[in-house]
Amino acid sequence: MAKEPNTPLYKVLIADLKRQIDDGYYKKGDLLPSENELCKSYGTTRPTVRQALGELTQMGYIIRQHGKGSIVSEPKNGLGILSLKGSTAGVGKKNLRTEILVKTKRIGWPVDFPYELTDTQREAGCLYLARLRHVNGLPTLYEETYITDIDLPRFTMHNLAKHSLFETLKKNHHVEIKEGEQKIWAVAASKRIADLLSIRPGKPILHMKRSMQTNKANLLMYSFLYCNTEEYFIQDYF
């Protein structure tokens, strides 16, 4: 991995090793390169390597055994969906497939919409879409999204099964997320959500509500996400 400016080297090492474990280059039970080998490969010192290996241990990626080395464990895969970069960026390259359940369409705001809207927003209406994310073949994330329909010409034409919503907004409409608020609950899956995620009704799942402000006045995004965490934990870095 190329080192970004001002990125501590131990974080580069963490990201490299984590990616190789996630991608299956190192499998459960495999030994990682020794501390000396990592020092040579990254041109760094033993304390830096030990800091990186210590954090990978805390994440559950490796187990360190005295006299043997760093052994790959079998952690659940993490989904960084707490990031405001969007679900696609948060899920990463874990064989992600996006299924469009409701293609983007222009609608009026729901009467019982849980967020307060400005008069400008109400008058503009919104763009609505619903997507189901399959991670390694498992239906894992169901998300409904509402976007204020301001200065987004031909937005319904975008293929959001193959392209990131956030990247599409940025590249084609110069819209970027500036800040946001997210609320998270553990809830029992309704029959509708359970059917979508292929789980039993009543099973505990994660429910997230997001309100995101953009660089354009009154153009806000809202998402309502349901996540089955049986196979994946939720993570983020700061």
Go through the domains of the chain in sequence order and give each one's CATH number. Answer: 9-72 (1.10.10.10), 77-234 (3.40.1410.10)
Query: Could you tell me which residue, 85 or 152, shows the higher pLDDT?
Result: 152
- Residue 2 reports pLDDT greater than 70: no
Identify the pLDDT of residue 141: 92
Please write the tens of the pLDDT for every residue from 177-221.
998 898 999 999 999 999 999 999 999 999 999 999 999 999 999
Residues in CB range of 147: below 8 A, 6 or more apart: 126, 127, 128, 155, 219, 220, 221, 222
- Residue 83 reports pLDDT greater than 90: no
Identify the pLDDT of residue 24: 79
Task: In the chain, count H helices and then E strands.
Answer: 7, 10
* DSSP 3-state of 195: helix
* Lowest mean pLDDT, pick from 4-13, 22-31, 78-87: 78-87
Q: What is d(CA 166, CA 215) in angstroms, rounded to the nearest whole number?
A: 13
Question: What pLDDT band is residue 68 in, cutting at 50, 70 and 90?
Answer: confident
- Cα angle, residue 163 at apex, residues 182 and 207 outer, rounded to 5°: 25
Question: What mean pLDDT is predicted for residues 13-18?
Answer: 90
Give the predicted TM-score (pTM) of the model: 0.68
Q: What is d(CA 8, CA 153) in angstroms, rounded to the nearest whole number?
A: 42
Question: What mean pLDDT is predicted for residues 143-170?
Answer: 93
Structure token pair of residue 163: 């392209």
Percent of the chain with pLDDT over 70: 86
Please write the tens of the pLDDT for every residue from 162-176.
888 999 999 999 999
